[in-house]
Structure 1
Amino acid sequence: MVRTVVFDVGETLIDESRIWLRWAERLGVPPLTFLGLLGGCAALDLPHRDAFEMVRPGLDFEAEIARWAQDDPDGLRNGFDADDLYPDVRPALRALREAGFDVVIAGNQPPEARAALEAMSLPASAIRTSDEWGVQKPEPGFFAKVAALSGVEPEEIAYVGDRLDNDVLPAADAGMRPILLRRGPWGYLHALRPEAARATVIDSLTELPGVLAG
């Protein structure tokens, strides 16, 4: 029986549209071009960083982020705030807590993402990022950290994410219940793949209390 529900961040809780549009402007390419390249990366199982390389060959990603911070120190830049939350997040997390589930947030994010999420006062008992753990999905060590943080056995954890490669398959391999959210380019594409049969596929986070109770 599932006791803890753990959530990925990007395109699970956070709508990344504004982030990608700000990147398109920063890189000097039309929004449709950059978004199309990201979709191509999702379809071809390429890292999303490849989209940056396509439009700016040789780009030093970390150096560009540092320059951006100097150019726009008070802007969101590569970050997010409460305005980027998908509308089903708060009601879904609240319903899970009311149903007796513990709620945890843990995803591949830079350290500053934790502060951004904590500022939203979400009904979660813990928030962690890959950077502070020093290990990223899909590495087994990340899911071992998730289990240790949750304080329950892996089979008592549901991991919710929008990707088969980063979320669903490694969570299943770790003994957790995988939930694939059909949202964002990876979510829609991955839901069509045969491997999605290993997961419960949902279209909204508000489906979770009923799915997990069943």
Structure 2
Amino acid sequence: MIRAVVFDVGECLLDESREWDGWAAWVGAPRHTFSAQFGAMIAQGRDPMEALRLFRPEFDLAVEREKREAVGEHEWFGENDLYADARLTLKLLRASGLTLGIAGNQTKRATDILRRLFAGYVDLVGSAETMGVAKPDPRFFEILIHSLRMDPREILYVGDRLDEDIRPATALGLRTALIRRGPWGLIHQHHPDADALPTMRIDGLRELTDRVAKHNENHPGNSY
């Protein structure tokens, strides 16, 4: 049975549009031009940071984040940046008795924001910075498994990317849900692995309550 659901952050719970708009403005990139280059990088399977380096060749995310902090442009997001189905889905899954977590390639500051936003909803909030390792490194998912103290097959990881979410999580035995939204989700949905790898494919988070319940009906008890 699925006993825990862990959510990726960007384009799963959080709409990152405003975040990327901020970076485009920071490097002086016209919004439309940056969006086109950003999409092209994702479609080619390249690091989207390369889109920023077209406008600022020496761009380094950690360095530039420090520069923005120094001038008062702190990393932040709030309730209005969450996808509309995020909070209700967590509430319903929590009410059904599932253990819930959030873990993605975010900073410690983002982790603190997530803890405040979802206080009382989740049992675990982690990030690449607080865990000391980033996806798709398998150690990221090994830490999740260890923290939850469950068989990996009892954990469902929900993400929008095949490369950073679904493939590495599946390789370690976790159940996975691929969500079709955000730039990666819409592009990766056409890849053959999008049908072959995930336990389930969803268009929105609200589908999870029924999908998890149906999965557990078909896997009564702990048969592992």
Superposition TM-score tier, normalisation by shorter sequence: over 0.9
2:152 aligned partner, one-letter code? P
2:154 aligned partner, one-letter code? E
Report what 1:138 is aligned to: 136
SS at match of 2:54: helix
Report what 1:88 is aligned to: 85
d(CA) in 1 for partners of 2:188, 2:106: 21
1:164 counterpart (154, 162, 174) = 162
Report what 1:125 is aligned to: 123
How far off its partner does 1:11 sit?
0.7
1:166 aligned partner, one-letter code? E
2:94 counterpart (90, 93, 97) = 97
2:202 aligned partner, one-letter code? I
Q: CA contact under 8 A between 2:21 and 2:31: conserved in structure 1?
A: yes
Runs of 4+ in 1 over 3 A off after TM superposition: none
Identity, % of aligned pairs? 39
Report what 2:26 is aligned to: 26
How far off its partner does 1:69 sit?
1.2
How far off its partner does 1:103 sit?
0.6
How far off its partner does 1:24 sit?
1.3
Report what 2:54 is aligned to: 54
d(CA) in 2 for partners of 1:195, 1:125: 30
2:171 counterpart (163, 170, 173) = 173
- TM-score where L is the length of structure 1: 0.95
1:186 counterpart (184, 187, 203) = 184
- TM-score where L is the length of structure 2: 0.91
d(CA) in 1 for partners of 2:28, 2:49: 16
SS at match of 1:205: coil
d(CA) in 1 for partners of 2:112, 2:61: 22
d(CA) in 2 for partners of 1:101, 1:138: 25
Q: CA contact under 8 A between 2:8 and 2:104: conserved in structure 1?
A: yes
d(CA) in 2 for partners of 1:204, 1:99: 18
How far off its partner does 1:50 sit?
1.2
- 1:4 matches 2:4: yes
d(CA) in 1 for partners of 2:161, 2:60: 26
Q: CA contact under 8 A between 2:24 and 2:52: conserved in structure 1?
A: no
Report what 1:106 is aligned to: 103
- 1:213 matches 2:213: yes
Alignment of 1:187-206 (within 5 A): 187-197=185-195, 198-199=197-198, 200-206=200-206
Report what 2:218 is aligned to: none
How far off its partner does 1:63 sit?
2.1
Structure 2: which 5+ runs fail to align?
215-224
2:206 aligned partner, one-letter code? T
